[in-house]
Amino acid sequence: MASTYPQNRLRAALSVALCGAVAAAITVESPVKLHAQAPAGPGRGAVPPGDALFTSAQAVAGKAAYERNCANCHGPSVDDGNSAPPLRGAAFLAKYAGKPAADLFTYVNTKMPPGNPGSLSGAECAQIIAYVLQQNGFATGRKEFASEAAALASVTIPAPPGGRGRLGGGLSPGVKLPPAPKKANPLDTITPVTDAMLENPPTGEWLTWRRGFDYQGFSPLKQITKSNVNNLRVAWTWTLSPGANEATPLVHDGVMFLHSPGDKLEALDAATGDLLWQYARILPPGVNASNKRMISIYGNKVYMGTSDVHVVALDVKTGRVVWDQPLTEERGFTLTGGPLVAKGKVMIGTGGRVGGKNYIVALDAETGNPAWRFNTIAQPGEPGGDTWNDHTAEERNGGSVWIAGSYDSALNLAFFGVAQTYDTALLAKPVRPGVKTDGLYTDCTLAINPDTGKLVWYYQHLPNDQWDLDWVFERQIVRIPVNGVIRPVIMTSGKQATYDILDAQTGKWIFSKDLGLQNIVSSIDPVTGKKTINPQTLPGDGQTHLVCPHADGAKSWLPGSYNANTKILYIPLVESCMDLTPVAGGGRGFLSTGVNFTVRPRPDSDGKYGRVEAVNMLTREVVWTERHRAPVSSGALDTAGGVIFNGSIDRFFRAYDDQTGKLLWETRLTDVPSNSPISYTVNGKQYIAIGVGNGGAQATGFAPLVPEIQNVDRAAAVWVFELP
């Protein structure tokens, strides 16, 4: 399971050595949007020759020097690097245009390259600057850019002139701006996040996507109550990059950290919405940005997975890249979930359809060095390797881990969910007598020691999953009486909305709670927990089958919220089914089962698909059920003020009485809420925040059920609410 990754480790070390101090983040002094610009040429806004600062020969030599010393971080085109800010465009010009040329020269001469600052000669520095200025549209002339700071003391880099056809805007040369209003920056006083804080978060903090290590998703804040929630108003909003937005924000010491579509990460003042810094990753050619659901904060770093299957650690105060570690060189993997960071390890699961492979990988939180990896598809000759119907490792498939794990410090166990197989033909084909077809570790809960990566126990919730009903979602750690003794247990459900309750220390099944929205499991043994499958739902016999729920789930990755005081779990659900129809001509179809699937209402449907259910997990009784037409699209948030929040694909964000389900407040947002609401405090004031951004499967998969709900344009953003 352990791996040294010698090539990746060398690459990571070189990357940090060369780029660490340059920062792949954009530290923003004013909220300016960044856009790459093509080099200016004749008629394209070049600065007139009379203002030229460098010669053509310098720029030519500078290109070669740049490629040797700078391209590894800033990118071959000066604005497409993965670990340093762009050197072309608005941000660069805002920083240096209209300023003394000596400032830029001194910085390059004394700070670059980060791995060996001061190693460049004065002539090389001047040449690199000439090339970068040329890429920003400045024209060449007869005068060389000086190779020492003293000679540049009276030289000003001119602001690009405005007007049509030119680079436009910029501050007039020589203008001295009045001082900006002074305001406190919460990053100045931000503190490191410890394991103890993640285990027991401060009252006003939201430190993981479900607040703390236990993933209960409950806020102890109570300024917002049943009696005043109807007074909620917008405190501020922040527009994100266009695209689907499924990532839940984090808040620590008055700073909100949030993922923006397109592999960006931003830090905002959580009280005002002011941008503090932004990290914008440039993806390699051929790699498209994918949805992300979680980011993590630990120590003095923020961690995110990227669409090119790296994990990046950013300095919490500046957004500077501290380390950037690739997880694999193979194509086909994804990192749509996020990291769990505990005990000094960054643990993250991969997804995708790569034969025989998906992993939970652990990296050192300080250095990014690989610590261990666990293969979620059991390999031949290893425990569980004989459960794949005699197939080779390459023929096995699936086992994605696309939701972050939870952690119990007392047990020192990290709990991860694993998804189904993506190639069910491997399991559905004829089986030799005595051959196992469970397909470990698909649809399992895994308990892993974070120090070693060793599997301590596993529990398989649904062997041989033929319906794409992942059991990959949040593993909530709660403490309830078991046979009269308070025990830590794991509560988790797959898409079929059947909760399995497991002993967190041993993995032993305790009980199940079926919420009544599925027809796949016909019975559950009350002693062993073994599930009996309804044969009428199995594909592969050439017949059309009605299966409930739909493959997008009655329960999906949108998490429930557990109130430990009342023992009530609040669960967002969707009422739907699917038809599994044989593919004409015997094709592979959906998950290679020979069928395709389409969404349909439940046979008893009254046209209401969205559902929020409150279940007492001690008595196993439903306390209340709230139903509405629009399918739910966000996770649930319960608060100590007695209010639960949830959103749906009609763009409504709603608040309910957590004891009765009565609707208390609602408002319409600019886009579909597709992640989980959070609550936090700044300066003693409670806020509620929710991100929006249509495009995820939960928002799009159920849209055919409600054709009157139109969500045409995307407008990803975060909305923050407060009381007057």
Tens-place pLDDT, residues 191-209: 999 999 999 999 999 999 9
Q: Specify the pLDDT at position 616.
A: 98
Average pLDDT over the chain, rounded to an integer: 89
Segment 570-614, tens digit of pLDDT = 999 999 999 999 998 878 888 888 899 999 999 999 999 999 999
Dihedral over alpha carbons 618, 624, 629, 634 (to 10 degrees): -40
Closest by Cα among 270, 295, 262, 401 to 686: 270
Helix (H) or strand (E) holding 106: helix 101-111
Q: What is the strand order of the sheet 296-298 is part of?
A: 296-298, 301-305, 310-315, 321-326
Q: Specify the pLDDT at position 5.
A: 37
- pLDDT above 90 (res 168): no
Q: How far apart are CA 693 and CA 713, in angstroms?
A: 10
Q: How far apart are CA 650 and CA 661, in angstroms?
A: 19
Q: How far apart are CA 366 and CA 688, in angstroms?
A: 32
HEC sequence for 627-660: EECCCECCCCEEECCCEEEEEECCCEEEEEECCC
pLDDT average, residue stretch 480-503: 97
- pLDDT above 50 (res 295): yes
CB 341 within 8 A of CB 365: yes
> CA separation (Å) from 136 to 51, 87, 181, 269, 299?
14, 8, 30, 31, 38
Direct distance between the N- and C-terminal alpha carbons of the chain, in angstroms, rounded to an integer = 54
Q: Specify the pLDDT at position 385.
A: 95
For residue 170, what pLDDT band results from cuts at 50, 70 and 90? low
pTM of the prediction? 0.85
Q: What is the strand order of the sheet 250-252 is part of?
A: 25-26, 275-280, 264-269, 255-260, 250-252
Query: Is residue 235 helix, strand or coil?
Result: strand
Closest by Cα among 679, 672, 575 to 637: 679
- pLDDT above 60 (res 30): no
- pLDDT above 60 (res 163): no
pLDDT average, residue stretch 645-655: 97
Share above pLDDT 70 across residues of the chain, in percent, rounded to a whole number: 91
Q: Specify the pLDDT at position 201.
A: 98
Q: How far apart are CA 673 and CA 690, in angstroms?
A: 7
Q: Specify the pLDDT at position 169.
A: 57
Q: Specify the pLDDT at position 49.
A: 42
Q: How far is CA 234 from the centre of its chain?
A: 25
Q: Specify the pLDDT at position 433.
A: 86
> CA separation (Å) from 331 to 75, 143, 309, 493, 712?
21, 49, 9, 30, 32
For residue 47, what pLDDT band results from cuts at 50, 70 and 90? very low
Q: Specify the pLDDT at position 75.
A: 86
Q: Which two tokens stand for residue 241?
A: 């990059």
Q: Burial code of 614-632, b = ≥16 C-beta within 10 A, e = fewer?
A: bbebeeeeebbebebbbbb
Reported residue count of the chain is 724
Q: Which residue has the higher pLDDT, 704 or 83?
A: 704
CB 16 within 8 A of CB 314: no
Segment 311-349, tens digit of pLDDT = 999 999 999 999 999 999 888 999 999 999 999 999 999
Q: What is the strand order of the sheet 595-600 is part of?
A: 545-547, 577-582, 595-600
Q: What is the DSSP letter of 100?
A: B
Long-range contacts of 106-110 (CB under 8 A, 24+ apart): 106/149, 109/149
Q: Which two tokens stand for residue 361?
A: 């990988």
HEC sequence for 128-159: HHHHHHHHCCECCECCCCCCCHHHHCCCECCC
CB 679 within 8 A of CB 687: yes
Q: At what angle do helices 122-135 and 56-69 cross, to 10 degrees?
A: 100
CB 459 within 8 A of CB 444: yes
Q: Specify the pLDDT at position 160.
A: 62
Hey, which CATH number is domain 32-152, 1.10.760.10, 1.20.1250.20, 3.40.50.880, 3.40.50.150?
1.10.760.10
For residue 51, what pLDDT band results from cuts at 50, 70 and 90? low
Q: Which two tokens stand for residue 455?
A: 């599997």
Range with the largest mean pLDDT of 3-17, 19-33, 410-424: 410-424
Share above pLDDT 90 across residues of the chain, in percent, rounded to a whole number: 72
pLDDT average, residue stretch 387-416: 95
pLDDT average, residue stretch 354-379: 96
Task: Return the amino acid letter for 400.
Answer: S
> CA separation (Å) from 166 to 41, 88, 170, 413, 600?
10, 15, 11, 59, 55
Pairing label, strands 218-219, 637-639: parallel
